[in-house]
Amino acid sequence: MVEALRCRACGSADLLPILSLGRTPLANALVEAADLATPDATFPLDVVFCRGCTLVQLTLSVPPERLFREYAYFSSFSDALVGHARRLVERLVPDRRLGAANLVCEVASNDGYLLQHYVAAGVPVLGIEPAANIAKVARERGIETVSEFFGRDLARALRASGRVADVIHANNVLAHVPDLRGVVAGFRELLAPSGLAVIEAPYVRDMIDHCEFDTIYHEHLCYFSLTALDRLFRSEDLTIVDVEHLPIHGGSLRIFATPSASSPARSGSVDAMLADERAWGVDKDATYAAFASDVETVRRDLIALVDELRREGHHVAAYGAAAKGATLLNYAGIGADRIDFVADRNTYKQGRYMPGARIPIVAPSALLDRAPAYTLLLTWNFADEIFSQQAEYRARGGKFIVPVPRVEIR
């Protein structure tokens, strides 16, 4: 384990502590039944703010090889995420005039949930996915995939082999990498002179404003504002030319970056958001000071509600064996004594147990078969999709507990 004494983006040592979630297990380290007697390895989960460049980040880096060589998250199990990717591809193919002579790469390409849409449009693709089990699934779907960690060295090797990207996608991956500068430099190395990098990352302002503390776990080393991203990309000769604020994952940024030497004039939305962040206080200690208090309020209210429902004789389940769920359950100290099971569509997770909490993971059919009166929605970022999928459960009287930004029953 490596403790960050300096900012991962700018190297500043001026790091302000803003939140500690204690020692928790790795959020995606699902437990096999045979290992239930073995205690989980736990690590500090502490968050700091860099006064040098505004980047919010964890103090501890768990080696990527431990986190990502075998992975439990398959993007294609989310219909909303697949649809989100398809709409972006349908927009970029005509906008960039992409065809058989081009190459689109995705860093952390998972099971091909995004690149499959380019393949359907006749555009050559290359996925880069370090998780061997997921890369195998992508290849089986016809997506050429390199099972390696992305950075400057891999980008140079691909370029030397004649692979130059007209478009690079990287969705929800920048937050995962300890060598931020190396990955962004890799984008610059792999891009064609007129190429475009399209990056999505959860937005730190939404995390702070809406108390989305469960998006904090050891895989997510960094939490980005546009201010932090702009400084990071400029340091590696890339210019952010446009930005969009998206609702997905509780609030995300989508940035469009090009090599600085050939960048077009940047959109007014970039300057507008940078100005808005300054007014919000992106570089002020006070902006982050109340976060820990808000987080503790959610923890206290959730425990009180679940315990009250159990005292009234109700069964309580949970939905979504996601990493954010592991953070919430472990920080709140909610385990199998309070939650009967966690339902999840991902067949890879079913039959295993939530790390730390040791709650069994089962198929969503359990909501109808076992009919818990209340279900804690751990994947609140896909609430509309899940409510639609579980319409029958709700029609029979089942209710969902939504924990963020405040605890409520829906």
For position 68, what pLDDT does the model report?
55
Over its length of 410 residues, how does the chain's per-residue pLDDT go in tens digits? Answer: 556 679 999 999 999 999 999 999 999 899 999 999 999 999 999 999 999 999 999 999 887 666 655 555 667 777 888 899 999 999 999 999 999 999 999 999 998 999 999 999 999 999 999 888 888 889 999 999 999 999 999 999 999 999 999 999 999 899 988 899 999 999 999 999 999 999 999 999 999 999 999 999 998 999 999 999 999 999 999 999 999 999 988 899 999 999 998 888 899 999 999 999 999 999 999 999 889 999 999 999 999 999 999 999 999 999 999 999 999 999 999 999 999 999 999 998 999 999 999 999 999 999 999 999 999 999 998 899 999 999 999 999 999 999 999 999 99
Beta carbons of 7 and 50 less than 8 angstroms apart: yes
For position 70, what pLDDT does the model report?
58
Q: How far apart are CA 319 and CA 299, in angstroms?
A: 18
Q: How many other β-carbons are positioned within 10 Å of the β-carbon of residue 322? A: 27
Domains 67-288 and 291-409 alike in fold: yes
Task: Give CA 133 to chain center in angstroms.
Answer: 19
Question: What fold is seen in the domain 291-409?
Answer: Rossmann fold (3.40.50)
Q: How far apart are CA 359 and CA 335, in angstroms?
A: 6
Domain ranges of the chain: 67-288, 291-409
Q: What is the value of pTM for the model shown?
A: 0.90
CATH tag for 67-288 (out of 3.40.50.150, 3.30.1490.20, 3.20.20.150, 3.40.50.300)? 3.40.50.150
How many Cα atoms occupy the beta-carbon half-sphere of 81 within 13 Å? 23
Beta carbons of 9 and 65 less than 8 angstroms apart: no
> What is each CA distance from 231 to 57, 85, 117, 184, 308, in whole angstroms?
15, 27, 32, 11, 48
Q: What amino acid occupies position 215?
A: T
The phi and psi torsions of 316 (rounded to 5 degrees) equal -125, 130
